[in-house]
Amino acid sequence: MKKLILISCLLAMVISTNAQQSDFLKLSDPYLGQKPPGIIPEIFAPGIVSTPETLEIGCTWSPDGKEFYFVRQTQTGGLMLCSLWENGKWTDPKVSEVFKIYPGFEPFISVDGKKFFYTRFALPPEMAKNPEKYTDQQKQENMSNIWVINKNGLDFGDPEFCVTGMFSSTSKNGNLYTTIITGEKPGIYRYDYNDGKYSKKEFLGGGVNSPVMGAHPCIAPDESFIIFDSKRKDDPEDTDLYVCLKQHDGSWSQAYWLGDKINTKWNDICSSLSPDGKYLFYMSKADIYWVSINIIDKIELIGK
């Protein structure tokens, strides 16, 4: 009897999953057909993007909202999945060909849609050419970096080394924000973008990296605010989301906690903005959540 009950439950799960995928293929509204949330966070595309048996983390949209990329972590590794708006409907999430060849995680598409940034476990070109010149520790410390792919619609080039760091976000003018965990000052840095190159690495001040380093920066296109995560609560293992505002003199304000509607006893990390700037996406409880950006206006801005 127990075996029959188990088989029935498994069959029900299969039918439910197939039904979800079938329904998904019919979706024709923006944001994968999901009803936009208010200031109460909701799981994004449950059963389609956020699934109970896997961990989903990090996502990005193309500027026109017709491409959605996210990473799904399984027992065999991470997969960079993509859902596309084609022929009036959304495609089932699948791995793009370029990421089968050059796998990675923490995706981000530039504001103009021409560059795809992501984190790869691969040595910088100089180290890869002459690995014998470096110690195993040096190679280990420099294994994770930001790489960029020139993008023309759905056509991808090959990835090129960009900068040292993990998890990237760029502003409208091209400045790149990332996390650097090696060296004397771990935390969030900005690389200025000039004449097609990244230079002048700067450690961010204000509340971004104080009293504890920030990580996983999500910069506003106009650089008016930055959302990031940090371990600043009583529980040293709890990571929450914070925001700092750009001051008139160009410095960063103190950090403001994003409130208990977003922040939970779980790690709340890796935020990104929708292309229209209306919604904040982030990972919590091993799923991707989204919430109206208006939540920033609703919280009581108390420095943390």
**62 falls within a domain:** yes
The HSE-up count of residue 291 (CA atoms within 13 Å, CB side) is 23
Of the listed ranges 71-85, 142-156, 253-267, the least confidently predicted one is 71-85
Task: Give the model confidence (pLDDT) of 188-233 as tens digits.
Answer: 999 999 999 998 899 999 999 999 999 999 999 999 999 999 999 8
pLDDT score at 296? 86
> What is the pTM assigned to this prediction?
0.88
pLDDT score at 237? 85
Q: Above 70 in pLDDT, residue 1? A: no
Task: Report how far apart, in Å, the C-alpha atoms of 21 and of each of 16, 89, 95, 187, 264 are.
Answer: 9, 13, 16, 40, 30
Mean of pLDDT values over 258-283: 96
Task: Give the model confidence (pLDDT) of 123-143 as tens digits.
Answer: 999 899 999 999 998 888 888
Rounded CA-CA distance 72/77 in Å is: 8
**27 falls within a domain:** no
Residue 61 belongs to a domain with what CATH number?
A: 2.115.10
**22 falls within a domain:** no
**187 falls within a domain:** yes
Cα Rg of the chain (Å, integer): 20
Q: Above 60 in pLDDT, residue 59? A: yes
Q: 27: Cβ–Cβ under 8 A, 6 or more apart, which residues?
A: 33, 89, 90
Q: Above 50 in pLDDT, residue 22? A: no
**60 falls within a domain:** yes
Contact 258, 245 (CB under 8 A): no
Full 3-state SS string of the chain: CHHHHHHHHHHHHHHHHHHHHHHHCCCCCCHHHCCCCCCCCEECCECCCECCCCEEEEEEECCCCCEEEEEEEECCEEEEEEEEEECCEECCCEECHHHHHCCCEEEEECCCCCEEEEEEECCCHHHHHCHHHCCHHHHHHCCEEEEEEEEECCEECCCEEEEECEEEEECCCCCEEEEECCCCCCEEEEEEEECCEEEEEEECCCCCCCCCCCEEEEECCCCCEEEEEECCCCCCCCCEEEEEEECCCCCECCCEECHHHHCCCCCCEEEEECCCCCEEEEEECCEEEEEECCHHHHCCCCEC
Q: What is the mean pLDDT of the chain?
A: 88
Domain that holds residue 75: 35-298
**63 falls within a domain:** yes
**11 falls within a domain:** no
**90 falls within a domain:** yes
pLDDT score at 170? 98
Mean of pLDDT values over 45-53: 94
> What pLDDT band is residue 235 in, cutting at 50, 70 and 90?
confident
Of the listed ranges 2-6, 256-260, 276-280, the least confidently predicted one is 2-6
pLDDT score at 115? 98
Q: Which residues pair with 119 in a beta bridge?
A: 105, 146
pLDDT score at 206? 97
Task: Report how far apart, in Å, the C-alpha atoms of 157 and of each of 94, 97, 120, 234 are.
Answer: 19, 11, 15, 45
Number of domains in the chain: 1
pLDDT score at 259? 93
Mean of pLDDT values over 45-65: 95
Q: Above 70 in pLDDT, residue 150? A: yes
Kindly state the percentage of the chain with pLDDT values over 70: 89
Q: Above 90 in pLDDT, residue 20? A: no
pLDDT score at 162? 96
pLDDT score at 3? 32
Q: Above 70 in pLDDT, residue 17? A: no
Q: Above 80 in pLDDT, residue 102? A: yes
Q: Above 70 in pLDDT, residue 272? A: yes
Residue whose C-alpha is closest to residue 239's, from 220, 258, 219: 258
Higher pLDDT, 70 or 297: 70
Written as one letter, the residue type at 12 is A
Task: Report how far apart, in Å, the C-alpha atoms of 98 and of each of 58, 199, 301 are.
Answer: 18, 28, 42
